Structure 1
Amino acid sequence: METSKRHWTLGVKLTLVAAPLLLLALVSIGLTLWVSWQLDGGAAAVNEAGRMRMQAYRMSLSIGTGDVAALPHEVREFEHGLALLRHGDPERPLFMPWDDTVRARYATVESHWTRFRDRWTRGDPPAVSGIVADTAQFTDRIDAMVGAIEAHLSRWTTLLHLLQIGVMALAVLGSALLLFMGYLFVLEPVALLKQAIERIQTGDFNARVACVTRDEFGTLAEGFNGMAEHLQSMYRDLEAKVAAKTSELADKRERLEALYDVTSLVARAGTLDELALGFVQRIRRVAHADGVALRWSDEANERYLMLAHVGLPASMVEGEHCIRTGDCHCGVQPAEHEVRVIPIRQMAAPMLGHCREAGFETVVSIPVRLKEHLIGEVDLFFHARYDLTAAERSLLEALTAHLASAIENLRLNALELEAAVSQERTFLARELHDSIAQSLAFMKIQVQLMRDAMASGEAARMQQVIGEIDVGVRECYGDVRELLVHFRTRANTEDIEPALQTTLRKLEHQSGLSTHFNVTGQALPLLPDVQIQVLHIVQEALSNVRKHAGARRVWLDVAKQPQWRIEVRDDGAGFDAERGPPDETHVGLRIMSERAERIGAVLEVLSTAGRGTSVVLTLPERLPAAASVPTA
């Protein structure tokens, strides 16, 4: 079997030439950066060693002058410098260029430092006169270590210069090679193509380009040759083809205008009546029909109701306001999928003769389907005989598909609105059940106790129950006010900070607590739905502080980086975290946990008895889209 010859594309050729050069350049640059990094670290090590030498002289001066108080700090500074040289510091950066000589010099410095420290900084030092000689001898060891480091760095510097020279040579060589390959693979084929184009421009349609390569320029040359041949064939009957193309473009433009017009209607229409009337008006103009009727089918496709019409006589509209399947040629059977052209005059008289009475000759019936389910039909009425072309049939089917999608969108919008109302009612019911309903149940029990106390004539018991009822009424009143605050406070669509500040001010005004608000970091604003959930959690946490903490101050801290973190903390009574919060706070914590779970956040409650409570809400790094977060 004969194997086809492999052809390299222009991209592959240039990649094969440039890839090795790029790889060498990246390796050279990487080595250069690495050597530079080592030199920077070594230079920092030399500076640190010089600082250690100065520190040695400073200790000698402190010993000589008897400044014993400063000596421990200087010893710690020196030992810190030794540890820094041993372990390095990548942040500065600081690295010891270790080799055998440097290690030996460093070990010598460490051993002399041990002797120097034991002799002069611990116990009773000998005569002060010997400190100068010992310090000079010790600093000589440090100088020797610095010299070893500098010798090592000089070798790295030489290597860096060689790498830089290599990069320069590679850049020059690569540039020359790329220029040559660019001329060979690109400029020369472009010049041949340019010459052929100039010949075509002068009227020489015999101009051709030799296909010298099999890459993109070879394909371009073949295309150019085909174009030249096509121009030669078109030259004789150019006017006829231009007219045909102009007519075709006009038809396409008309179809695009019709589709755009219907699309604009679909996006703008807010009700089914507006959509239906606008659609029949537009499709009548597109199809040049004498009348149009839009019929909606029931679920069983047994009856068709006229939603909108235009160009039909009143008697026909009244008689066909609702027709059954089979009573007329209109009314598509569920099994019929295609557009039908109905020649009324050539068919047997139907049960309903309104079309004949109105003088219509032809009816075009287009079924309206949504996911293979029949939801209605569009009927076009013509006074003359009419037949559809393939383009007209395709256009009408596309327009009815847009209509079906628009009807479905209206239905989905209505369902979404209904779901939103149901969700809001569920939220209200839950809030009432978790707050006011519990308070009312408590007061109901107290009323029964009041009746028992009145029946037994216990005055003290009645006063106690009245006090409990008063507390319950106040608590219920507070819950109502708090719910109103929750419902009225809304997060800003750009930033949540103003809403949080407003909530804190309301708490301070209502309870007299001292509030503190702190924001750190910068980040993109939260999505509106996430803002609402965060705001409700903060409000619930502040409500618990007001009700149960017995605090004097409350803090609200917001950190935006590396991820959103909101913390509400107080200096109140707190509780034992191992035993859990008191029973009266279970409801509030559960509501906050449910809200945090909706947005994928983590809620933590940290508390110690007598030391306050902290509620921490940590948002995920990747928040969900606004459409997927349920609002409350």
Structure 2
Amino acid sequence: MPFSVTLPSLRQRLSTRIIVSSIVALLVVLGMVCWTLWLSWQLEGAGAAINDTGSLRMRANRVAVELLQRNPEHDQLTRQELALQAATLLRLQQGNPARPLFLPADARIRLQMQRVHQHWQDLHQAALHALAGEPADTYLKVLPEFVQEADLLVRMIEVDNASKTNLLRLSQAILLVIASIGTLAMIYLLYLWIISPVLRLQDGLRRMATREFAVRLPVETRDEFGVLADGFNQMADELEGLYQDLESRVAQKTAQLANQNRELGALYDMAAFLNQPSDIEEMCHGFLRRVMSQFSAEGGSIRVIDPQADNLHLVVSEGLSESLEDSEHCMQRDACFCGEATQKPVVVIRDFRQLPKPELFHCARDGFLSLAVFRVMSGEEVLGTFSLHFREQREVLAADAQLLETLGRHLGVALDNRRLSAKARQLAVAEERNLVAQGLHDSLAQGLNYLNLQVQMLESALKDGRAEELQEIVPLLRMGVDESYQDVRELLLNFRSKLEQGELQAAVVDTVARFRRQSGVTVALDVNDDEGAPLPPEQQLQVLFILQEALSNVRKHAQASHVEVTIRNGRDFEMVIRDNGRGYQPEEVAARAERHVGLHIMRERASRLHAELKLEAAPGAGVTLRLILPWQERQAA
């Protein structure tokens, strides 16, 4: 049975855990990096402050030197140094984050900066008084205190920088530890979340491949791997159930295949039997025996429909008593179950005893308990039925019923083919009889009519005693008898002619040689039969008949001394017969076409070949006959 799995929720998904842990690790790393960057920025600003604070001492000493020298030319430089000193103090107090330059955010340092600024105010006033001409003693007196306070400020900033430097190093060490621990934790989590479940799934598949269908995977989580493990377990349950039931299924399938093979064998044997040459009764007997043997039936019959009287006629039967055959040799189509089967595909009677009044049925009275009737069909036409009789209660399975229906169709096609073959043979016999009648009319009938006239003249001459006429009539009678004899020989020869494949050339040579002996006319024969494929025997025979009829007409009517026969077997087949006889007027022959039976016979034979027959003639110029068989009409030899 199909199994189903429940998808994990968003919080339970493995992808959610991986994304959340990755985001947490990223935030921690970014925080630490930002913290170290901030410390570096603080150290850089404090370092700039240390430099500027140191420059305060340098400039203060330089102003002292200038004031002691009392050089009026340097007063302007002194004032510039004082202005730069004031600007430096202002930068230190206000700071410059862009440089960066600023004092550490420490109250003691800020207080010290105020002291430095206060001393600078005193020092700056003393410097201005000295520039105004007063003694520089006051400046020199205040200067050490200012320098001392500036040095203290520098040391305080350096101490603060040292602590921040240590904090930066500690932060970097913590970041390194976090990176190492985070990497190990991520490796462990990936092993726990992904690698371990994959390994368990791989081991389960390996054991499953060795037909260890009892293996199950632990379902420890509700994430994707938990869903996979649950699905694997359900699949294992299904496979275990299937494998446990596999033997019975294999046996069942084997039995089905064996049954199908028996059915195919039965169909093949029946088709081979039905295709063997035999008459209808023999074929029906063989069919019925094989079907009864295949299905263990004790009796059977085959009936065909008479469409004129709407009756069913018994053709053959096996295992039925004479009384049953006599009573059911002919029945109405609606009289019994055999007729009912012509209206529906299958009629099955499992037990006659379960029917009302079973004694009314001849089969039941004959000792049969079960009956199965099937239609005999050719295409969509119902030709009849065949029945199987059982002396025990019998149920026909659906597969057996289908096989029997198929066998009924095979029998119907075989019966139809036999009937069509019989009709084809009758038609061929009728056509050949027609040609024989035409040949007799054209040869023997005319010759006998001529002899009849001569006999009448002979009787009249004998009665009147005209001896001179007797001497003239007797040679004419002999000549008429000889011609009739020759006609009979030609007809018998035509009737007996039979060719196999490749014998046309030899038959043509024999026909031309016989014509030379009978007529004394010289014949030029030119046969080229090597370029094209050989004609099949039936077409060869029709070509030979046309040649014989044409030469017979030359002997009887042409008064020729020379005949040419040319045969070319290339892509098209062509035969040309040309004589140098007296010829004829085509219009006159066309007007009396019904009287020229020989010409009519040749055209009928050419029509059978699907060939074209052409006649070219003129009075005193002989006759040329052309037989052309296009390559499209050639049959496979």
* TM-score interval for Structure 1 and Structure 2 normalised by the shorter chain: 0.5 to 0.7
Q: 2:373 aligns with which of 365, 369, 372?
A: 365
> Aligned equivalents of 1:324 and 1:337: distance in 2?
18
Indicate the residue corresponding to 1:249 in structure 2. 257
State the Cα distance separating 1:404 from its structure 2 match: 1.9
**Residue 623 (structure 1) aligned with residue 633 (structure 2):** yes
The one-character-per-residue Cα deviations of 1:248-281 (angstroms, maximum 9, x if unpaired) are 1112112112212221221126123322222222
Indicate the residue corresponding to 1:540 in structure 2. 549
Q: 2:603 aligns with which of 590, 593, 609?
A: 593
TM-score relative to the length of structure 1: 0.56
State the Cα distance separating 1:309 from its structure 2 match: 3.4
Indicate the residue corresponding to 1:184 in structure 2. none
Cα distance change on mapping 1:201 and 1:624 into 2, 3 Å: farther
> Aligned equivalents of 1:408 and 1:425: distance in 2?
25
Cα distance change on mapping 1:257 and 1:504 into 2, 3 Å: same
Which amino acid in structure 1 is aligned with residue 565 of structure 2?
L
Contact map agreement 1:559 1:566 (CA 8 A) in 2: yes
State the Cα distance separating 1:328 from its structure 2 match: 5.1
The one-character-per-residue Cα deviations of 1:355-410 (angstroms, maximum 9, x if unpaired) are 44454332222233445554433232333333232212111111112122222222
Q: 1:394 aligns with which of 395, 399, 402?
A: 402
Q: 1:292 aligns with which of 300, 306, 309?
A: 300
Cα distance change on mapping 1:538 and 1:272 into 2, 3 Å: closer
Indicate the residue corresponding to 1:97 in structure 2. none
Helix, strand or coil for the counterpart of 1:280?
A: helix
> Aligned equivalents of 1:443 and 1:553: distance in 2?
29
**Residue 482 (structure 1) aligned with residue 483 (structure 2):** no
Contact map agreement 1:446 1:469 (CA 8 A) in 2: yes
Deviating 4+ runs (over 6 angstroms): 199-202, 228-233, 576-585
Indicate the residue corresponding to 2:516 in structure 1. 508
Cα distance change on mapping 1:556 and 1:278 into 2, 3 Å: same
> Aligned equivalents of 2:418 and 2:590: distance in 1?
48
> Aligned equivalents of 1:580 and 1:354: distance in 2?
71
Which amino acid in structure 1 is aligned with residue 573 of structure 2?
W
Moved more, 566-575 or 398-407: 566-575
Structure 2, gaps ≥5 residues long: 1-204, 212-234
Cα distance change on mapping 1:287 and 1:471 into 2, 3 Å: same
The one-character-per-residue Cα deviations of 1:112-153 (angstroms, maximum 9, x if unpaired) are xxxxxxxxxxxxxxxxxxxxxxxxxxxxxxxxxxxxxxxxxx
Moved more, 229-238 or 519-528: 229-238
**Residue 526 (structure 1) aligned with residue 535 (structure 2):** yes
Identity over the aligned pairs, expressed in percent?
35
Cα distance change on mapping 1:296 and 1:247 into 2, 3 Å: same
Helix, strand or coil for the counterpart of 1:435?
A: helix
State the Cα distance separating 1:303 from its structure 2 match: 5.0
State the Cα distance separating 1:354 from its structure 2 match: 4.5
- Please tell me whether Structure 1 or Structure 2 has the larger radius of gyration of its CA atoms: 2
> Aligned equivalents of 1:380 and 1:562: distance in 2?
57
Contact map agreement 1:370 1:404 (CA 8 A) in 2: yes
Cα distance change on mapping 1:200 and 1:592 into 2, 3 Å: farther
Indicate the residue corresponding to 1:238 in structure 2. 246
User: After the TM superposition, which residues 129-528 of structure 1 pair with which residues of structure 2 at under 5 Å, given as runs?
Assistant: 203=209, 235=243, 237-268=245-276, 270-299=278-307, 303-312=311-320, 316-317=324-325, 320-322=328-330, 329-332=337-340, 334-350=342-358, 352-451=360-459, 459-520=467-528, 521-528=530-537
> Aligned equivalents of 1:578 and 1:361: distance in 2?
80
Which amino acid in structure 2 is aligned with residue 272 of structure 1?
I
Contact map agreement 1:266 1:275 (CA 8 A) in 2: yes
Which amino acid in structure 1 is aligned with residue 631 of structure 2?
E
The one-character-per-residue Cα deviations of 1:189-237 (angstroms, maximum 9, x if unpaired) are xxxxxxxxxx9999399xxxxxxxxxxxxxxxxxxxxxx9999995564
Indicate the residue corresponding to 1:570 in structure 2. 579
> Aligned equivalents of 2:382 and 2:373: distance in 1?
13
Contact map agreement 1:493 1:527 (CA 8 A) in 2: yes
Which amino acid in structure 1 is aligned with residue 373 of structure 2?
S
Which amino acid in structure 2 is aligned with residue 512 of structure 1?
G
The number of aligned residues is 408
Indicate the residue corresponding to 1:604 in structure 2. 614
Contact map agreement 1:343 1:361 (CA 8 A) in 2: yes
Helix, strand or coil for the counterpart of 2:633?
A: coil
> Aligned equivalents of 1:576 and 1:321: distance in 2?
66
Which amino acid in structure 2 is aligned with residue 203 of structure 1?
A
> Aligned equivalents of 1:468 and 1:625: distance in 2?
47
Which amino acid in structure 2 is aligned with residue 614 of structure 1?
T
State the Cα distance separating 1:317 from its structure 2 match: 4.8
Cα distance change on mapping 1:301 and 1:602 into 2, 3 Å: closer
Which amino acid in structure 1 is aligned with residue 426 of structure 2?
E
State the Cα distance separating 1:607 from its structure 2 match: 4.7
Indicate the residue corresponding to 2:97 in structure 1. none
> Aligned equivalents of 1:468 and 1:200: distance in 2?
112
Contact map agreement 1:301 1:334 (CA 8 A) in 2: no
Helix, strand or coil for the counterpart of 1:409?
A: helix
State the Cα distance separating 1:582 from its structure 2 match: 12
> Aligned equivalents of 2:330 and 2:283: distance in 1?
19
Helix, strand or coil for the counterpart of 1:401?
A: helix
Contact map agreement 1:574 1:610 (CA 8 A) in 2: yes
Cα distance change on mapping 1:350 and 1:373 into 2, 3 Å: farther
State the Cα distance separating 1:453 from its structure 2 match: 5.0
> Aligned equivalents of 2:589 and 2:280: distance in 1?
56
Helix, strand or coil for the counterpart of 2:510?
A: helix
State the Cα distance separating 1:239 from its structure 2 match: 2.3
Cα distance change on mapping 1:200 and 1:390 into 2, 3 Å: farther
Cα distance change on mapping 1:324 and 1:625 into 2, 3 Å: same
Contact map agreement 2:614 2:626 (CA 8 A) in 1: yes
Which amino acid in structure 2 is aligned with residue 538 of structure 1?
L
State the Cα distance separating 1:558 from its structure 2 match: 1.4
Contact map agreement 2:342 2:384 (CA 8 A) in 1: no
Which amino acid in structure 1 is aligned with residue 384 of structure 2?
G
Contact map agreement 1:495 1:526 (CA 8 A) in 2: no
State the Cα distance separating 1:574 from its structure 2 match: 4.6
The one-character-per-residue Cα deviations of 1:531-567 (angstroms, maximum 9, x if unpaired) are 1221122112222333344444433221223422212
Contact map agreement 1:301 1:333 (CA 8 A) in 2: no
Contact map agreement 1:295 1:377 (CA 8 A) in 2: yes
Cα distance change on mapping 1:454 and 1:493 into 2, 3 Å: same
Which amino acid in structure 1 is aligned with residue 246 of structure 2?
L
> Aligned equivalents of 1:580 and 1:318: distance in 2?
64
State the Cα distance separating 1:483 from its structure 2 match: 1.5
Cα distance change on mapping 1:558 and 1:442 into 2, 3 Å: same
> Aligned equivalents of 1:419 and 1:469: distance in 2?
39
Cα distance change on mapping 1:443 and 1:342 into 2, 3 Å: same
Cα distance change on mapping 1:234 and 1:552 into 2, 3 Å: farther
Cα distance change on mapping 1:369 and 1:349 into 2, 3 Å: farther
State the Cα distance separating 1:415 from its structure 2 match: 2.2
Give the superposed CA RMSD. Answer: 3.9
